[in-house]
Structure 1
């Protein structure tokens, strides 16, 4: 314990010296840089920040704080001039966030040195004298994998140009290159932070591909290299551990802007970018290999890589095996005739080709089950399919529907007109085969069914494949159900039991190695049932689904749809995986990397390697344990069942409050999020219709609460649930559960992280609002209750006491963006008044611009 405290103290000291002090130094330099038309912005900003802090402490309204500041410190009175200066403040603060990111990233290795630990190597050392342990490790490695899937969810605000500046700025800060830092800060000041129009799905893919090309390409290969070396030292055969996935261009759920041609374009783009990476590495290899005996294979490889990287007219095919063969030939010549000189460079490139093939990252296709049902209904009207189904098919029971399905391959003749969604689905099904032929099967082999509610949702989709160019014996696709709501999670086990027992699906799974991926959504389950119920529902679903899979001898992999914030499955995610017992399938860790989590956790090679290693360590550690998960013991399970129910009731009661949605619409920028030009995806389903909570995307829902600095989805109901257990005399049992269950402890720790990014003092003036005052007090009371109960449970005096560095980082970031929060609320206040169209547009733009910096600073707020 003393050692841990000492390490925490050392890390906190390093953070203060390396991050806070350096940020203050470079920030003082930054504030002297002039912006267009505003000479005194850098001088006024520190005064404005202090004025904001004092005003919030006094619970003053944003309008009072800002208006008083302008009267006291400026000669500016006209609305246009006030708005203009506020925009300049926003520009500065946005870039201060970037500067802080860069300073923190530059110190990453120093801050995390004590956390790095190769779990695999540790177990190998222990097993050196134990044959049984070594065999267990071999079996674990044979089965284990980690898949990271980049998604195009609209909370990634940094464009590629800014990401490049952050990368260069981080490098300069590492060596305290003041001259370069000064130049980069000037470049940063002149570089736009946002697009003038919303990106297309292909634009989004290109933006995210920056991370594949500049970070993951190197980081994943470096980690794989360490694994290969560790296993080789103990004479254990290595295998590919890391896989990459990709959603932009393939995820069309609720996004009418994604079309079949988008999917094809993105698959081609990923392939070309990958071959450019290979070509770049090969040029370095060729520069070193100047010996005789390898001229022919060198020339062949160079020609192949160059054409695939730069010739847009080349006939695309999966050439990865041929490439590996030629590179292996070069490596063998180096070993046999040149003392192995530079063979390591050849090994490195071979490893990368083995990891990324011709596809770089697997492109997942995702669509909502309701759309897929419509497509199936459309196809049933066409020859020869029409004769196979009764007219009342849609009215049949689930059992009767499944009995009607015939799974016959057929060439369907479509005669009726079809809408864009139906057309896109049918085109995509046909074109996936083309992608597999050009980039390899792994390039696109999963179809994810959102809102999956019954077994027929999957079986009907399989029929669609058989009717549109695919054959039963060659259906090289994996069909992945996505269970999201609390209700669907509860039914998931029964649905999979039906599928595993179905003759056709059983046969298909056998052809796919008896492997089944199941996606579980944290975001919608939180929006549906609150933080604790979402986590507990997913835990129970995983237990039930694992039991069902084991019964049918299926190798199950859970694909977790995790967002950035704890309310959407984020936070200390690796701790969830490390805490799994043997009752939950955990040999294949799969999770989405979304929004600003991509830049904050995987924005540099150092941070990406660290976080990939943490997830692998979690999987290896959990796989080596035989410990039973205590949450399945009757006492502990009953406690969590009751707590989840109480938390659920509290959250649902809040959701049903008549002021719930109008409060969000009035006081947060929710209604303006659709005008933010960062995503091709609409803020809500059924866009154009009146806002309904069920149509609102979980990301927008969580983002709105985070902008209010209330983070309701990340804690609401926790205080009520804990207090009820305390009042019932079960407190000692709850404390024991917290101390003994890593899973429950992680739920609590992540909840405290959410609350650390909340600040009800910013909105304390709402308490005086005639219409919404009592509603705000209800939210605040639950926050204070949750805070008190969580601290009591953990035995702490402050939130995130266990994570002093993260806590300090959050505090600095929140201080930086406090003015943005107040400017946003000020703009929203003004929008409640009678305004001209020009004034309304100006205040809307002002509110919208603040969202960028607040989310970027939070790193996992949306």
Structure 2
């Protein structure tokens, strides 16, 4: 195929972009950012870089739109013609482009959210907490709905699993660009302001281009803690109380902000960052202490600044707003604690009693952050008590707007975050506990044993310093029996024997593998009878938390059988909890990628078995998902509102009845799908030599060279079986190879085994679990590409395995389109469909660069030669770029 002329190339690109039906304002943003990037490439890149980028861009667009092998081969030849240095530059250029397109899409989402929130028909939706409450109240009555609203809990837990491929420096640059894009929007009517905004954007894109896209070394656990703190500082501290305010505004109407709010804080933020030591030798007891100290420092600084700001603005004269007796007594107590500061405050606030008290409270919070023992608050409850005195006094004086305005938001912040910010959770493998207990019983004390015992002492210390909520959940991965959990309590006793504070522990089983999920109900029945648990269950009012792992079960039996097994496990556990009178919280160990339980959380919540949610939803959030869902305030508020709404609505009689009836009606379909998909998956992964072949046809081995996170990517030195491999690189490697096998393999065979197309369409309409599964597979398939996949699979020498994957891909695609009654993938999700189509040819360019690098590395390995450093660098750059283009990794 001949290379198109410049005129033909412009026409081709124009037709492609016009066919994506991008909203006009977003199209303008993409054009602006792309043109600025082009200018940077011409100014700062090596000679001819911009022209080579454009040549490859046109070629991959032509290959994508023509779907001809000749066009694809021409793009491949262009990639092969580049020098090593030029190939690396081009990989960086396409990666920068994706960062800018992602930014434009996020900016458009924020626009849409703001427009949607302002529409008069917004109240009729069911995807906000306020609307969900109205729908629930219509079914169960106002009193019951209020009780359920008050008991509502959404509990995201941030983890440091290594799935964020871009550097923090890159993320920071993108955040600055986001602010500049907002300024550019605001300056559209002013030519001078617009030119200034564009000049600053050009400077920032220049910075982005010059910033090395790869981390020079792996982050430490403390680095990971500070990265998560950035999300708190920039978003969550203010976004979460704003969500509460929106709910209260919707439910109370004009009276909102002038009387006691209906809503109570329903978000709790958990963290494994600095606490998850399962397979991560770099997370120590010292790391956990540092993580808690950093989090506390951030939240106390925020609370003291907020209290000070409220205090400075509370210039309410005693004549118009007289203090009540409790406020006067509070001022006397605060003055006695720090007379010099109180006198200075009183001098600045003559006859302004509420202002005086708030400024003194702000000073006391700051002292807590400084760890000034004489002035500190003992715990968050003591601070809340003081703030409520101020609130009551204002309300009694008729200043209701002041009582329930900004002051209420500060109360919500203290109730949500306490002095700890994140509820730090510890996770460790059951085998470690068993080994250490064995040592202690034999009178041995290895370094591992000392470290494990120090963890328990650390938990006790954190509870004393920051409050009981600061730490105390202890997760046991690979729980196989009640003894695995009892071991935690026995170790805590050993640790306390040295005189350290005994921690209050809630020990949480984690069921991960397919076999463990099936055994979970039996193990739980043993747990509640075990002497180690009886007392703690009585203390908590028979509350129990159980964690379910999505990743390892999917790697065990494939995504279809794992999803069905997870549903069955949840249903049985929920029924057991109902019989035993236990208040159950299921903790969902979901990853960001579809192969690890990812996908829209709100639709997943509404598909859960009856009584498995009951107003409480807890899940892990990791890597790129943290920043995608919580990095921008408007998007964070929308996400929290949506998931909390689904959590509230999931317990409605209508939803529970629908899910129960669907599960019964389609039980035979589920059994057929389970058996067929599992057999097909095992045919692939249990084939002799599969694991080494998988490492050959994907960049799995090379992912370990990426400085993504502090945690090792695998358990052993090499991958001889899937058991050696963690779930994250399993998913990550398949996504890089544009196969996404972990998200869909086996579904085509499962649907073929059922065979009844009409029945499957009924299931898609009426069975929420099945619909969610098919929709998630559809998204996974949309990001796969058979032509690219063939080139990766050709790197290996197992044609029968490659054919099995490609045949299953074709079969699954065919059935998904028919079952969902679509003409092509993502027809029912036009925004996502547009995003995938717009990116695909550009991702293809990076994939071709990655294949070039992989082929060189495989040839070097076959010849026994050392790995080509240029090929390694190109591979790692392309991994970063493909991650940005696909917007998911592990």
Does the CA-based 8 Å contact 2:697-2:795 persist in structure 1? no
SS in 2 for 1:571: coil
Please give the alpha-carbon distance, in whole angstroms, between the structure 2 residues aligned to 1:683 and 1:662.
Answer: 16
Residues 1:131 and 1:94: Cα distance change in structure 2 (over 3 Å): closer
Residues 1:326 and 1:641: Cα distance change in structure 2 (over 3 Å): same
- Greater shift after overlay, 840-849 or 144-153? 840-849
Does the CA-based 8 Å contact 1:446-1:478 persist in structure 2? yes
**Structure 2 residue runs without a partner (length 5+):** 1-18, 186-196, 317-351
Please give the alpha-carbon distance, in whole angstroms, between the structure 2 residues aligned to 1:738 and 1:66.
Answer: 40
1:236-247 map, 5 Å: 237-247=262-272
- Greater shift after overlay, 219-228 or 666-675? 219-228
SS in 1 for 2:672: helix
SS in 1 for 2:773: helix
- Greater shift after overlay, 164-173 or 754-763? 164-173
**Deviations along 1:616-655, whole A, 9 cap, x unmatched?**
1111221223424246654411210121111011001110
Q: Is 1:646 matched with 2:676?
A: yes
SS in 1 for 2:407: helix
- Greater shift after overlay, 561-570 or 300-309? 300-309
Give the equivalent residue in structure 2 for 1:97: 98
SS in 1 for 2:826: coil
Please give the alpha-carbon distance, in whole angstroms, between the structure 2 residues aligned to 1:628 and 1:454.
Answer: 34
Residues 1:473 and 1:515: Cα distance change in structure 2 (over 3 Å): farther
1:777 shift after superposition: 2.0
SS in 2 for 1:93: helix
- Greater shift after overlay, 265-274 or 93-102? 93-102
1:339 shift after superposition: 3.8
1:37 shift after superposition: 5.6
**Deviations along 1:648-683, whole A, 9 cap, x unmatched?**
110011101235223321222111111111211001
Please give the alpha-carbon distance, in whole angstroms, between the structure 1 residues aligned to 2:665 and 2:245.
Answer: 45
Does the CA-based 8 Å contact 1:62-1:823 persist in structure 2? no
SS in 2 for 1:457: helix
Please give the alpha-carbon distance, in whole angstroms, between the structure 2 residues aligned to 1:70 and 1:794.
Answer: 40
Find the partner of 2:361 among 272, 280, 301.
Answer: 301
Q: Is 1:171 matched with 2:232?
A: no
Give the equivalent residue in structure 2 for 1:224: 244
Residues 1:180 and 1:262: Cα distance change in structure 2 (over 3 Å): same
- Greater shift after overlay, 60-69 or 273-282? 60-69
Does the CA-based 8 Å contact 1:62-1:822 persist in structure 2? no
Give the equivalent residue in structure 2 for 1:208: 228
Find the partner of 1:807 among 833, 857, 864.
Answer: 833
Please give the alpha-carbon distance, in whole angstroms, between the structure 1 residues aligned to 2:675 and 2:375.
Answer: 58
Give the equivalent residue in structure 1 for 2:593: 565
**Deviations along 1:113-148, whole A, 9 cap, x unmatched?**
5596464433555688x7951122023123321100
1:49 shift after superposition: 2.0
1:557 shift after superposition: 0.6
**Deviations along 1:495-529, whole A, 9 cap, x unmatched?**
00111233442222111221111100111111111
SS in 2 for 1:517: strand
**Deviations along 1:285-333, whole A, 9 cap, x unmatched?**
2442345223542342232333344679999875322322333344455
Residues 1:766 and 1:556: Cα distance change in structure 2 (over 3 Å): closer
Residues 1:335 and 1:243: Cα distance change in structure 2 (over 3 Å): same
Does the CA-based 8 Å contact 1:33-1:42 persist in structure 2? no
1:376 shift after superposition: 1.7
Q: Is 1:463 matched with 2:463?
A: no
Find the partner of 1:743 among 754, 769, 778.
Answer: 769
1:714 shift after superposition: 0.7
- In the superposition, the TM-score normalised over structure 1's length comes to 0.87
1:776 shift after superposition: 1.8
Q: Is 1:19 matched with 2:48?
A: no
- Greater shift after overlay, 196-205 or 626-635? 626-635
Q: Is 1:526 matched with 2:554?
A: yes
Find the partner of 2:729 among 696, 700, 709.
Answer: 700
Give the equivalent residue in structure 2 for 1:779: 805
1:807 shift after superposition: 1.2
Q: Is 1:50 matched with 2:80?
A: no
Does the CA-based 8 Å contact 1:659-1:772 persist in structure 2? no
**Structure 1 residue runs without a partner (length 5+):** 1-11, 77-81, 383-415
Please give the alpha-carbon distance, in whole angstroms, between the structure 2 residues aligned to 1:60 and 1:763.
Answer: 17
Give the equivalent residue in structure 2 for 1:496: 524
Q: Is 1:321 matched with 2:329?
A: no
Find the partner of 1:753 among 756, 766, 779.
Answer: 779
Does the CA-based 8 Å contact 1:365-1:446 persist in structure 2? yes
- Greater shift after overlay, 612-621 or 773-782? 773-782
Q: Is 1:145 matched with 2:153?
A: yes
SS in 1 for 2:651: helix
Please give the alpha-carbon distance, in whole angstroms, between the structure 1 residues aligned to 2:71 and 2:482.
Answer: 53
Does the CA-based 8 Å contact 1:317-1:440 persist in structure 2? no
SS in 1 for 2:859: coil
Give the equivalent residue in structure 1 for 2:696: 666
Q: Is 1:253 matched with 2:278?
A: yes
1:227 shift after superposition: 3.3
Number of equivalences: 803
Please give the alpha-carbon distance, in whole angstroms, between the structure 1 residues aligned to 2:429 and 2:792.
Answer: 39
Please give the alpha-carbon distance, in whole angstroms, between the structure 1 residues aligned to 2:759 and 2:879.
Answer: 42
Please give the alpha-carbon distance, in whole angstroms, between the structure 1 residues aligned to 2:748 and 2:684.
Answer: 14
Does the CA-based 8 Å contact 2:220-2:282 persist in structure 1? yes
1:821 shift after superposition: 1.3
Give the equivalent residue in structure 2 for 1:79: none
Please give the alpha-carbon distance, in whole angstroms, between the structure 1 residues aligned to 2:308 and 2:796.
Answer: 70
Does the CA-based 8 Å contact 2:453-2:494 persist in structure 1? no
Give the equivalent residue in structure 2 for 1:722: 751
Give the equivalent residue in structure 2 for 1:122: 131
Find the partner of 2:213 among 189, 193, 212.
Answer: 193
Please give the alpha-carbon distance, in whole angstroms, between the structure 2 residues aligned to 1:159 and 1:804.
Answer: 31
Please give the alpha-carbon distance, in whole angstroms, between the structure 2 residues aligned to 1:768 and 1:361.
Answer: 47
Residues 1:770 and 1:585: Cα distance change in structure 2 (over 3 Å): closer
Find the partner of 1:30 among 34, 37, 52.
Answer: 37
Does the CA-based 8 Å contact 1:668-1:825 persist in structure 2? no
Please give the alpha-carbon distance, in whole angstroms, between the structure 2 residues aligned to 1:770 and 1:258.
Answer: 37
Q: Is 1:381 matched with 2:442?
A: yes
Does the CA-based 8 Å contact 1:542-1:585 persist in structure 2? no
Please give the alpha-carbon distance, in whole angstroms, between the structure 2 residues aligned to 1:275 and 1:565.
Answer: 34
Residues 1:247 and 1:14: Cα distance change in structure 2 (over 3 Å): farther
Does the CA-based 8 Å contact 1:376-1:461 persist in structure 2? no
Find the partner of 1:430 among 457, 472, 476.
Answer: 457
Please give the alpha-carbon distance, in whole angstroms, between the structure 1 residues aligned to 2:500 and 2:217.
Answer: 44
1:110 shift after superposition: 3.6
Please give the alpha-carbon distance, in whole angstroms, between the structure 1 residues aligned to 2:140 and 2:37.
Answer: 59
Does the CA-based 8 Å contact 2:692-2:719 persist in structure 1? no
**Deviations along 1:376-405, whole A, 9 cap, x unmatched?**
2122224xxxxxxxxxxxxxxxxxxxxxxx
Give the equivalent residue in structure 2 for 1:405: none
